[in-house]
Amino acid sequence: MIYIIDHKDSFTHNVVHQFENFDDVMCDNHSEINENKLKKSKVIVFSPGPGAPKDYPRSSNIYKRFKGKKKIIGICLGFQQILHCEKGKIIQQKKIYHGYQSKIKVTSENSLFTKNRKFKVGRYHSLKLKEPFAAKNFEITMRCDISNVAMAIENNKEKIYGFQFHPESFLTENGNLLIKKILSA
């Protein structure tokens, strides 16, 4: 079972819908987390949402408890939530991407995805990761083709994955494939 932690976003149910293609999915609001579901789940997903990671201390707490014990996936705010817990700084970017389609590129040999492959994705974010960023076992594996902003992180050792863009958006090419690959990793 996949447990999706909702940060009150208007895209969370697209994430649910997408993950339902692959497994049973449960979804609860971040303030109404069910301990049993949390323990039973194989994968924990942090949803997109408004605001910044510091606004969601409960989600940070869950991340710290289950890091290394379960597969963890973060999308948009969820991606930033993971980075925030790994001592990364999340800052405002000059250009703001809401409803934007842009090209990104796989930049790492160690990614589950083929290096140098480019594809179009949907973006909804005003904040970004401040670099340089370094955390044990983590690697930035995708970047915006134009601005070079970090678009994905992978920690294949502890099975932690995050996307700054939205794999569930209709603006993202092959979003389902992406999720399938992460889930079977």
Residue reference for tokens 């603006």:
171
Residue 155 binding other proteins, by CB under 8 A? no
Residue 59 binding other proteins, by CB under 8 A? no
Residue 154 binding other proteins, by CB under 8 A? no
Considering 76, 84, 144, 154, which one is annotated as catalytic? 76
Q: Which residues of 134-144 are buried (b: 16+ CB within 10 A; e: fewer)?
A: eeeebbbbbbb
CB nearer to other proteins: pick between 112 and 127: 127
Options 56, 63, 79, 124; binder of other proteins; rule CB under 8 A: 124
Question: According to CB under 8 A, which residues from 60 to 119 bind other proteins?
Answer: 77, 92, 96, 98-101
Residue 49 binding other proteins, by CB under 8 A? yes
DSSP per residue, 102-134: EEEEE--TTSSS-TT-EEEEEEEEEEEE-SS--
CB nearer to other proteins: pick between 60 and 156: 60
For the chain, what is the total number of helices (H) and then of strands (E)? Answer: 5, 9
Q: How many Cβ atoms from other residues are within 10 Å of residue 115's Cβ? A: 12
Residue 13 binding other proteins, by CB under 8 A? yes
H helices present in 20-119, as ranges: 35-40, 57-66, 77-85
Residue 171 binding other proteins, by CB under 8 A? yes
Q: In what order do the strands lie in the sheet with 71-75?
A: 25-29, 2-6, 43-46, 71-75, 160-163, 150-155, 139-144, 90-106, 118-129
**175 in Cβ contact with 169 (< 8 Å):** yes
Annotated catalytic residue 166: yes
Residue 30 binding other proteins, by CB under 8 A? no
Residue 169 binding other proteins, by CB under 8 A? yes
CB of 99 to other proteins, least distance (A): 4
Residues annotated as catalytic (active site), given as ranges: 76, 166, 168
Binding site for other proteins (CB under 8 A): 8-14, 16-17, 20-21, 49-52, 77, 92, 96, 98-101, 122, 124-127, 166, 169-171
